[in-house]
Structure 1
Amino acid sequence: ASSAWADSTVVVATYEGVINPVTAEYFHDALAFVEANRAQALIWQLDTPGGLDTSMRLIIKDITGSAIPVVVYVAPSGGRAASAGVFITLAAHIAAMAPGTNIGAAHPVAMGGGEMDKTMKEKVENDAVAYVKSIAEQRGRNVAWAEDAVRKSVSVTEKEALQLKIIDLVTEDLQVLLEKLDGRRVTTSAGTTTLKTKGAAILTFSMGWRLEMLKALSDPNIAYVLMTIGMIGVLAELYNPGAILPGIVGAISLILAFYSLQSLPVNYAGVLLVLLGVILFILEATVTSYGLLAIGGVASMILGGLMLVKTDAPFLKISWSVILPVVTLAAGFSLFVVGMGVRAMRRQPTTGSEGMVGLVGVAKTALTPQGKILVHGELWDAISEQAIQPGDQVEVTRVDGLKLYVKPASKKGDA
């Protein structure tokens, strides 16, 4: 079938970062926005180091099943389409790149922690090769290069990509891209259409605050910070009941951390190590270990951070620039807050009936054995096993309801 879009509007959606479930949802929503606004094409401006295979495949399914032409534009200058970005760019109906960008390095990486064995490595690699070849063949792109991008992690500049027929266009900006797209015939799942983009109006589709927040939460560095805050807050509340604020902040942080971790290949040994580190910091505030527990806590939290996400992909690793400050602050905060709580629990009560014990007062009447005494400016009924004369100093030994049990005091009272 052959058709021409009457509407002279295109939608531009921009994404920069790791490909993850949030990316897939954003792309799906962008396509729905194009349909709702009867725009003739979606231009997806992309800059990515790669990401999760499952999310990448969801995006490609949306592209291949779309009745709307999808243009993937690798930009701005200095951007890249690496790893999962290679597959997505090759799958686009039209692929374009800005000057100063590159594409390639699509070799699959382990997501299970450590190195894959030879057999599993071959299986994963062959599956990725078959997938990228089928995508390249469908779009008439360079199949041999696509295979090399997976097997050998080759990467090329935008000029080389154009010469090798990996992409269709090199263009400086969106306006020039629209001019170069004008008149191109594109075959989608709905048939063949001719783009009329010269002078087309541009509608921008942004993520919105919800997806922006979820994107931030999907960062493993954020997950590590939230998990640490959450554990410290909850444990601080347990050691200092009634503080309320640490418990609330801790619970919210833990919920957000677990949401973040569900989109990442999590190593639960790393989670347990972070928890152990926080517990050791708290024990350091309650037990005399001469710093051994604190040292163990530091080591445990650092190892937990390094092991938390089980992948060889560098863009999913937790940064040292995050681990070290978090461990330092966690240690200091735990020792300070929990230490305050422990000291408060150990401190002798100074109010209420328990706070009366040990106070010294003055007998206002003879205690034989019962009489009146003055303590802290208050008149109390008192009982003494020894005879006490008016004006004698007494010390409170026990409280029974509204009666004080006293004994003679050898020091001057606080009456």
Structure 2
Amino acid sequence: MKRWRLLLFLLLTAWPLLMPAQEAVEAGKPAAAAGNVILLNISGAIGPATSDYVHRGLKKAQQAGATLVVLQMDTPGGLDTAMRKIIQDVIASPIPVVTYVSPSGARAASAGAYILLASHIAAMAPATNVGAATPVHIGGVPDPGGGSKPPEKEDKKDSPDQKGKKEKPAKAGKPGMDEKALNDAIAYIRGLAQMRGRNVEWAEKAVREADSISAEEAVKQNVADLIAADLPDLLKKLDGRKLSLQGREITLKTQGAQLQAYEPDWRNRLLATIADPNVAYILMLLGIYGLFFELWNPGYVLPGVIGGICLLLALYAFQVLPISFAGLGLILLGIAFMVAEAFLPSFGALGIGGVVAFVVGSIILMDTDVEGYTVAWPLIAGVALASAAFFFTVVALAMKARKRQVVSGQEEMLGATGAALENFKEGEGRVRVHSEEWQARSGTALKRGQKVKVVGIEGLVLTVEPYNPEGH
């Protein structure tokens, strides 16, 4: 018994000392993950969903105590704002970030080239390429984040077609938007290359001339650090590599490290889906049509609710997309014309004009050359044809209904037949028309039971005359 008491006393005494160790084990989920490598996958056009995914992934890596983050990338480019957010997160990351252009055949074009140069380590798989970082126009303003079309050479004074022509003096001190965006992009990419000790001259060439090079050339020209066949080969080659991280030298230990892929959560997937130009385009149309039907038939509620939700989602998507407001205005004008065709006798003029405005607006809705940020042609054609067919069907039904005989109202009473309920005295009496009794007057004497025909109506008094089925 004394031994049990002594053991219980020792446990109670030592318990406070064991608590920090126990908490370390519980919090030991991050500690146990030390040495792990977090894998983030960037595939396709870079947009707000991508930057949000990378931001959360880097935070997740810090919480898990990872020693390395690998951005596996295959992108044609993307939006400048999203690209700069990713680069800011990479530069501020306390964990080294390796950008790995993979698999074979992938590319780090445009915005991807900036991210590759900004990373602590730049790696590429065989048969990949990097470059083509010239700004392109998005919404009327050049965007360093996408495109690959090089600007024209400015020095044309010695070309044959310019000989003998008097040059116009350029306006000093007033560079255009293209020059401003180009110079800004050059300064930005040169700064990234200088920070990581990479080839500054090539970085400028990638922007100014849209130059693009293979993985082998990238390593030779000090644009990329190494070539790896796959992820295990990458981790093997990174082991023991020294690099500078926020002013301190570190040595990577990746041999035998566990590779953990961080997949986008529901929020990232939802944002990526909504921000897809084709989905945003459909949401906008569903919103417009839903509200239109609700206003046309008040009280249905469901079309208005669905339309309002879809329209708000579309407006959110347009907020982060390179939207052309001229295109959006043409789409709304086209829909208004097609709706007006159903109510106004324009004999197709409004409807045809509406279809034309709708198609043109859809084409220029996404004012950008960046791949992945345009509305698909088949979708535009399908929606335009469906909308035109719907409204022209409404017009055809309206024209057909216009030719039908009137079945209600005062106009319907004209020409109706009935019978006199009494002998008319002084040209007035009662008649039965459509099973209803009416006061009536007639310029001809009528007898009870005689068939009559309505030829006029004034207030609640009918004007009738004798009805002759043969001669009417």
Give the TM-score category using the shorter length: 0.7 to 0.9
Deviation at 1:345, TM superposition (A): 11
Is the contact between residue 63 and residue 92 of structure 1 (CA under 8 Å) also seen in structure 2?
yes
Q: Please name the residue that 2:40 is paired with.
A: 13
1:187 aligns with 2:214: no
Is the contact between residue 103 and residue 156 of structure 1 (CA under 8 Å) also seen in structure 2?
yes
Q: Please name the residue that 1:133 is paired with.
A: 190
- 1:309-388 to structure 2, matched below 5 A, reads 309-336=366-393, 382-385=437-440
Q: Please name the residue that 1:122 is paired with.
A: 179
In 1, Cα distance between equivalents of 2:306 and 2:404: 26
Q: Describe the superposition over 1:246-283 as per-residue Cα deviations: whole angstroms up to 9, x where unpaired.
A: 43333222212111110123221111100111112222
In 2, Cα distance between equivalents of 1:75 and 1:269: 39
What SS class does the counterpart of residue 341 from structure 2 fall into?
A: helix
- 1:8-407 to structure 2, matched below 5 A, reads 8-113=35-140, 119-189=176-246, 191-336=248-393, 382-385=437-440
In 2, Cα distance between equivalents of 1:339 and 1:230: 25
Is the contact between residue 367 and residue 383 of structure 1 (CA under 8 Å) also seen in structure 2?
no
In 2, Cα distance between equivalents of 1:170 and 1:367: 111
Is the contact between residue 217 and residue 257 of structure 1 (CA under 8 Å) also seen in structure 2?
yes
- The AA in structure 1 aligned to 2:95 is I
Deviates more, 1:256-265 or 1:299-308: 299-308
Is the contact between residue 232 and residue 330 of structure 1 (CA under 8 Å) also seen in structure 2?
no
In 2, Cα distance between equivalents of 1:265 and 1:100: 32
What SS class does the counterpart of residue 199 from structure 1 fall into?
A: coil
- The AA in structure 2 aligned to 1:93 is H
Deviates more, 1:295-304 or 1:356-365: 356-365
Is the contact between residue 189 and residue 204 of structure 2 (CA under 8 Å) also seen in structure 1?
yes
Identity of aligned residues (%): 40
Q: Please name the residue that 2:18 is paired with.
A: none
In 2, Cα distance between equivalents of 1:77 and 1:249: 44
Evaluate the alpha carbon distance shift between residue 229 and residue 339 of structure 1 in structure 2; reply closer, same or farther with a 3 A threshold: farther
- The AA in structure 1 aligned to 2:251 is T
Deviation at 1:291, TM superposition (A): 3.1
Q: Please name the residue that 2:7 is paired with.
A: none
Evaluate the alpha carbon distance shift between residue 319 and residue 6 of structure 1 in structure 2; reply closer, same or farther with a 3 A threshold: closer
- After TM superposition, the score normalised by the length of structure 2 is 0.72
Deviates more, 1:137-146 or 1:209-218: 209-218
Is the contact between residue 287 and residue 306 of structure 2 (CA under 8 Å) also seen in structure 1?
yes
- The AA in structure 1 aligned to 2:343 is T
Q: Which runs of 5+ in 1 are unaligned?
A: none
In 1, Cα distance between equivalents of 2:412 and 2:241: 91
- The AA in structure 2 aligned to 1:92 is S
Evaluate the alpha carbon distance shift between residue 39 and residue 339 of structure 1 in structure 2; reply closer, same or farther with a 3 A threshold: farther
Is the contact between residue 240 and residue 338 of structure 1 (CA under 8 Å) also seen in structure 2?
no
Q: Please name the residue that 2:15 is paired with.
A: none
Q: Which runs of 5+ in 2 are unaligned?
A: 1-31, 143-150, 152-173
Is the contact between residue 11 and residue 42 of structure 1 (CA under 8 Å) also seen in structure 2?
yes
What SS class does the counterpart of residue 160 from structure 1 fall into?
A: helix
- The AA in structure 2 aligned to 1:88 is I
- The AA in structure 1 aligned to 2:332 is L
- The AA in structure 1 aligned to 2:187 is A
Count of aligned positions: 401
Could you say which structure has the larger radius of gyration? Answer: 2
What SS class does the counterpart of residue 265 from structure 1 fall into?
A: coil
Q: Please name the residue that 2:3 is paired with.
A: none
Is the contact between residue 423 and residue 429 of structure 2 (CA under 8 Å) also seen in structure 1?
yes
In 1, Cα distance between equivalents of 2:447 and 2:65: 99
Evaluate the alpha carbon distance shift between residue 340 and residue 159 of structure 1 in structure 2; reply closer, same or farther with a 3 A threshold: farther
Deviation at 1:10, TM superposition (A): 1.1
Is the contact between residue 268 and residue 308 of structure 1 (CA under 8 Å) also seen in structure 2?
yes
In 2, Cα distance between equivalents of 1:256 and 1:346: 43
- The Cα RMSD (Å) is 3.7
In 1, Cα distance between equivalents of 2:403 and 2:48: 49
In 1, Cα distance between equivalents of 2:175 and 2:389: 45
Deviation at 1:59, TM superposition (A): 1.0
In 2, Cα distance between equivalents of 1:342 and 1:290: 10
Is the contact between residue 8 and residue 197 of structure 1 (CA under 8 Å) also seen in structure 2?
yes
Is the contact between residue 234 and residue 250 of structure 1 (CA under 8 Å) also seen in structure 2?
yes
Evaluate the alpha carbon distance shift between residue 206 and residue 390 of structure 1 in structure 2; reply closer, same or farther with a 3 A threshold: farther
- After TM superposition, the score normalised by the length of structure 1 is 0.81
In 1, Cα distance between equivalents of 2:93 and 2:43: 22
Evaluate the alpha carbon distance shift between residue 57 and residue 371 of structure 1 in structure 2; reply closer, same or farther with a 3 A threshold: same
Deviation at 1:220, TM superposition (A): 2.5
Deviation at 1:27, TM superposition (A): 0.7
In 2, Cα distance between equivalents of 1:195 and 1:355: 91
What SS class does the counterpart of residue 23 from structure 1 fall into?
A: helix
Deviation at 1:383, TM superposition (A): 4.4
Deviation at 1:128, TM superposition (A): 1.2
Is the contact between residue 286 and residue 339 of structure 1 (CA under 8 Å) also seen in structure 2?
no
Deviation at 1:363, TM superposition (A): 8.1
Deviates more, 1:332-341 or 1:34-43: 332-341
- The AA in structure 2 aligned to 1:289 is S
In 2, Cα distance between equivalents of 1:354 and 1:42: 81
Evaluate the alpha carbon distance shift between residue 348 and residue 173 of structure 1 in structure 2; reply closer, same or farther with a 3 A threshold: farther
Evaluate the alpha carbon distance shift between residue 39 and residue 347 of structure 1 in structure 2; reply closer, same or farther with a 3 A threshold: farther
